[in-house]
Structures are given as structure tokens and as C-alpha cells.
Amino acid sequence: MFAEGAKKLRIFAACRYNAVYFVAMRIIALLRENLSISISSIKATKLRTGLTVSIIALGIMALVGILTATEVISTSLTDEFTAMGVNSFAINRIRNVAQGKRSVRTRTHMHISQRQAAEFKERYTFAASVGISAYASGGATVKYKSAHTNPNISVYGIDEDYIMVSGDNISRGRNFTMRDVHEAANVCIIGEEVAKKLFGIRENPLGNTVSVGAARYQVVGVLEDKGSSFTSSSRKVYIPLNNLSINFPRQNLHCTITVLPHQAMLSAAAQAEAEGIFRQVRRLRSIDENDFRIETSDNMTQMLMENLGFVSLAASVIGFITLIGAAVGLMNIMLVSVAERTREIGTRKALGARSAYIKQQFLTEAILICLMGGALGVLLGILAGNMVAFVVGGRFVMPWGWMFAGLVISTIVGLVSGYLPAVKASRLDPIVALRYE
């Protein structure tokens, strides 16, 4: 009796397996037939299909491309700020300040003077390194004999400790000495791009004299090249801080103070200590708010990421608007296709094709057209987005998530735009369809 039960069970399992196999093969055959008919229809209307694919590809490219570029930029910024030192922070100015509890007034000179920066550095005894820098120009031209750079060189005045706290490295030559800064020596440290532009790859820039603006400086160091990134020092020239006030005079010279704690765990304590001491340097009362701000690498990264978020949102809106237009265009093409193939539909229904099969055929055609546009758009978007990586010197990014999202969106667009034409085709009366034309 047990053997008979086992035999029945094997027969039932075999029948179930055969049924599943039959259904699977039926589905595969149906999909193959739908794909074959869809491809034939697409080949018959190449121009209309090409236009629709182009519109869909444009929308997906805008979406994937800008989002890929945003990811490239965010990755590059994160790497750069990490290289600068995540523990460092800067003391910088703010413009509008509320003073006291009852009145609000705005100071007209909110810059950090060189005297205040020097006083802070002298009074700050925390276990940290302090560097001072001041911006002179962002459009300077550097000359050496007959060679000259484009007018896009940034000039900064720095002290002898700034190189160490800024994350820059000197590849050739030396840093400024305390004597260079105090005596306002006419010496400079140039970026690698400036060195290549003026001296090429054969001549040694060290010891040669270059013109920065109207002043002449002897090159004592060359900065290490970090690529064409946002914090790159390749197009910079550093001169001693005291020399800046002589050769690049301005009424309100603003200094930035950069602090690098010696231990990462002391970063919060270092910031609190710096805030208290600089309040004393600025002669603030206890009821006054800070008329300066402390910027950390994380804060700068977060601020830039927020701005990039708005760019991503705008890109998404543009992409979706384009996709809506593509969906409307595809729906019109499918409706025209239904009208042109009315007799074909009637013939197939007369031969026994069910309405569900007709609907599946037109939906498959719409989805196939959208997937073609989506795949092309994803490819173009990745290439366009990673062109930003080439420009900023970042690494190549493969946005797997956005690639999958682009194809899913294309499929949804195909379903939405192809549903109405597919329903219309499936509801055609075979007798009326055969009499068409």
C-alpha cells in the first residue's frame, strides 16, 4: 500500500512538472512572437520610431547625466576635503551681525584684519597648528621671459604655517620661512600648472624670477599637483603675507585663519577654545553674538551638497517633463499604428487571436521602443556625466542605481503610453476590421 501511494505521488509530481514546463514554454513562445511582431512593426516605421526613441533618450540622458555629474562632483568634493584634513577648521568673517538683546546693528567692517589674525595666533596655545592666509587676486597673470599664463591665476598671501594646515604639499623647493614672512621677501611658491606653463618640463623653475602683476618674485617652491579639482592648487601662487599688503594693497585686507588640531579627538575642544579666544581678540561683549564664523570641512561639504541637491532636483524636473512629451508622442504613434494595422488586427482575431494577445502585442511594442530610448539615454547620460569627472579630475563613476532607474522609468513610460492604444486595438470588432479600407 505504501508503494502504491509513492507511485501515485511520483505520477502527480511528474504531471505537475509537465504542466509547469508547458506553461513556461507557452509564455516564452508568446513573448517571442510578440517581440517578432513588434520588431517588424518598428522596422516598418523607422522614422517615427527613431524620433520617439530620440525624445525618450534625451529625457533619460538629462536625468541620468546630471545626476551622474552630481555624484561625480560630490565624490570629488568628499575626496578633496578629506585630503585637506577633516579635522581642520577655518575662522572666517560674516557680514550681518546682531549686537546685544535690544538692538540690531550691522558693522561696516567685518573683515578679519592681519593684526587680529596675528594676535589670535599668538594667544592660541591649544595643541594645534595655525596658518593665516589672505586673498589677493583671482585673475592675475604670471610671466617669465616671453612665456605667460592666462589671467586666471589666484594669488594668496600666506604665513610660514599655512602650507601645513591647508593640505597642500611642496613637491620641489621649500616652504616660506618666518624670516621671509616678517621681511616681506619677494619670493613665491607656484602651482604645478603655472610651472609647466612658464618653464615647460625641462627648465627648473627654482631660483628663477617671475612677474606676478607688477611685482617680481623669486620662485622658491612648487606645489604638488592634485589634479583639476575644486580645491586644486595647480593655478595658485603663494607669496609671503606681509608682502601682500605691499604689492597688492587694499583698504580692508581680509585674512582667513586655518587651525589644524594635532589630534582628531580634540577637534571640538579646539574649536571651542578658538571661538573663546577670537571673541576676546574681536573685543566682543558677553551679550554680543559672534561676528565671525567657524567653518569646518564637513560644513563646507554639506553646503555644497545642498546646492548640488537643487541642481539634481532641477535636472529631475527637466527629465520628467521631457519624458511626458515622449510619452505623448509615443501614444500618438501607437494610435496611428493601430489605425494603419486595423485590417491586420481583424485578420489575427478572425484566425483565433484573443483580445488579451492583441493587447500584449501592442504593449510589448511600446515597451520595446521605450527601452531602446532608455538604453541609449542611459549610455549618453553616463558619458555626459563622467565628462565632468574628466574636467574636475575626479574618478569615473558608474551609477548603477540610476542606470536601473532609467530603464524602469522607460518601461513605465512604455506601459502608460501604450496602454490606451493597446486597449483600443484589442476591442476592435474583427468583422469591422476586415472590412476596413
Q: What is the pLDDT along the chain (437 residues), one digit of tens a residue?
A: 555 555 555 665 556 556 666 566 766 766 676 677 667 777 777 777 787 788 788 878 877 877 777 777 776 666 665 555 556 888 888 755 444 444 444 444 478 888 999 999 999 999 888 999 999 888 889 999 889 898 889 999 999 999 988 878 899 999 999 999 999 999 999 999 899 999 988 889 999 999 998 899 999 999 987 655 445 568 899 999 999 988 888 777 889 999 988 886 788 888 899 999 999 999 888 888 888 888 876 655 566 666 667 767 776 777 677 777 777 777 777 777 777 777 777 777 777 777 777 787 778 888 888 888 888 888 888 888 778 767 766 667 777 777 787 788 888 888 888 788 878 777 777 666 566 55
pTM: 0.56
First to last CA, the chain: 69
259 contacts: CB under 8 Å, gap ≥ 6 = 88, 89, 90, 91, 124, 128, 129, 130, 131, 165, 270, 271, 274
> How far apart, in whole angstroms, are the C-alpha atoms of residue 134 and residue 256?
6
Q: 404-426 burial, b if ≥16 CB within 10 A, otherwise e?
A: ebbbebbbebbebbbbebbebbb
The amino acid sitting at 165 is: V
Instruction: Look at strands 236-240 and 89-93 and give their pairing.
Output: unpaired
Put residue 222 in one of left, alpha, beta given phi > 0 → left and psi -120 to 50 → alpha. Answer: beta
Query: Phi and psi dihedrals of 174, rounded to 5?
Result: -140, 170
For residue range 250-275, list pLDDT tens digits in order. 777 889 999 988 886 788 888 899 99
- Residue whose C-alpha cell is 587676486: 137
CA 168 to the chain's CA centroid? 23
Longest dimension (CA), the chain: 110
Place of cell 570629488: 76
Cα separation, 275 vs 268, whole angstroms: 11
Task: Say if CB 381 and CB 392 are below 8 A apart.
Answer: no
Alpha carbon 284 to its chain's center: 40
42-46: long-range pairs with CB below 8 Å, 24+:
42/365, 42/368, 42/369, 45/333, 45/337
